[in-house]
Amino acid sequence: MEELVGVTACVIGDMASRPNFGLNELDFVFSTLVVGSIMNFVLMYLLAPTMSSSAQTLPGIFASSPTSHMFEPGPYGLLSRFGTVIYKGTIFAAVGFAAGLVGTAISNGLIKMRKKMDPNFETPNKPPPTVLNAITWAIHMGVSSNLRYQTLNGIEFLLAKGFPPFLFKSSVVVLRCLNNILGGMSFVILARLTGSQSVDGGKASTTNDDGLAEEKQKLVEASDELEAKESTSK
C-alpha cells in the first residue's frame, strides 16, 4: 500500500513541480519512480515494528532518545528528542544514498538499453550523474524527509487525542498523501539546486537561434532580389 499510494503521490508531486507537468522531463520522472520505489521499500522495512527487528533503545550515544520519533510519549528531555532527529536523519540519508545509487544506475541502464534497441530514440535531457543524484537523494532524505517524518508523527499524535477513530484514520491518509506530494516537489527543487537533474535547454535555444538567423538571411536575400528586379525594370 505504501508503494502504491506513497510512490504515486511522490511522482505526482515531482511532475507537478516540472514545466508542462513533467512531460518534457519524463526521463527524470522515471528516475524518481525507480529510486522512490526502492527507497520506500527499504524505509518501510526498517521502520516496521517487527518482533525480530524492533529495539528497545537506540544504539550508542542515542540510547536515551526516543526510538520512533521525537514526539514519542515518555520522559525524554529536549536533547534526547533532538538526538532522535539526528539518528533518524542519518538513517534516512544512508538509505537515500544507497537507493539513489542503485535506482539511478538502473534507470540510466534501462535508458541506454532502449537506445541500443532503438537508435533513433533520444532522451530530452542529459542522464543524471549517478553519484551526484545519490548525494542529492541523501540530502533530501536526511533533511526534508526526516523533518517531515518527525512533524507528521507529531501532528498525528495530537489528532489521535482529539479525533474519533474514523476521522483520525481518514486524516492520516490525507496527511500522508500530501506529505509524499510535498516530498516529490521538494526533491525537484533540490535536484535543480545541486545540478543533478539539469534541463538540457541549450540545444533547443541554439536550434531556435539558428532558425531565426536563417529566416533573417532569407528575408534579406529576398529583399535584395526585389530591389535588383526593380532597378532592372527601370
Successive 10-residue mean pLDDT values, the chain, 234 residues: 80 86 81 86 74 66 90 92 94 93 90 84 83 95 94 92 91 91 92 83 44 58 60 54
Q: Which 3 state secondary structure label does DSSP give 76?
A: coil
Task: Kindly tell me the burial class for residue 19, based on how many C-beta atoms sit within 10 Å of its own C-beta (0-12, 13-18, 19 or more).
Answer: exposed
Which amino acid would we find at residue 107?
S
Residue found by looking up cell 525480530 in the block:
52
What does the pLDDT read at residue 18?
85
What does the pLDDT read at residue 208?
44
Helix (H) or strand (E) holding 42: helix 26-47
Cα separation, 162 vs 166, in Å, equals 12
Written as nine digits, the cell of 152 is 507528521
CA 2 from chain center: how many Å? Answer: 16
CA 58 from chain center: how many Å? Answer: 29
Closest CA to 183 of 4, 40, 27, 21: 40
